[in-house]
Amino acid sequence: QGSNDLRFCFMPGVLQMVRDNWLTGTGFGSFRYVFPAYRDPSCGLEGAFTRAHDFFLEGWITLGLPFVLLASLVITSLFFYFIKGIQLRRQYRWVPAAAMSVLLIQMLHNSIDFSIQIPAVAAVFAALMGAGIVAATGRAATGRAATGGAAGRSFASPADAGSARVS
């Protein structure tokens, strides 16, 4: 749709909502009920906006400053762990790198749409972030892989039980 996309017409109203509700927000899930008061009549009656088409702005509008602070903390932490995983891993370095790429792409896309609010997208995103964090903070990232993996075991296998010496 290009420049005729209704999102561009409604964005000034969305930004005004942020200015008016930046501290405490309007309440979780309230965008669809609050936005009509900010809707520009010159945009026409076409289209029903139940989402802000910007995940971060909608979070700020509905949940206020706490959303911004928590989202910033989570995103910054994820980037930190992924970068550390890329630096410290000797094998499978691509896993935290891929997870960081998915995070970056998802953040960019969520600034113009609300795909993360679709349950299937959110589930896949969460699974990929989880895999990235496990790879970035796993045992190989902390140096355990250099010992061959078995040195850190605190249990004996059944085969080892018969060869144990009593002193």
Query: Does pLDDT of 50 surpass 90?
Result: no
DSSP 149: S
Least confident of 16-30, 35-49, 61-75, 96-110: 35-49
- The pLDDT value recorded for residue 40 is 87
Sign of the CA dihedral with 98 first, then 100, 103, and 109 last:
negative
Residue 90: which pLDDT band, with cuts at 50, 70 and 90? Answer: confident
Q: Between the CA atoms of 114, 112, 9 and 25, what dihedral angle is there, to the nearest 10 degrees? A: 60
- Give phi and psi for 153, each to the nearest 5: -70, 140
Least confident of 43-52, 90-99, 134-143, 146-155: 146-155
Query: Does pLDDT of 145 surpass 80?
Result: no
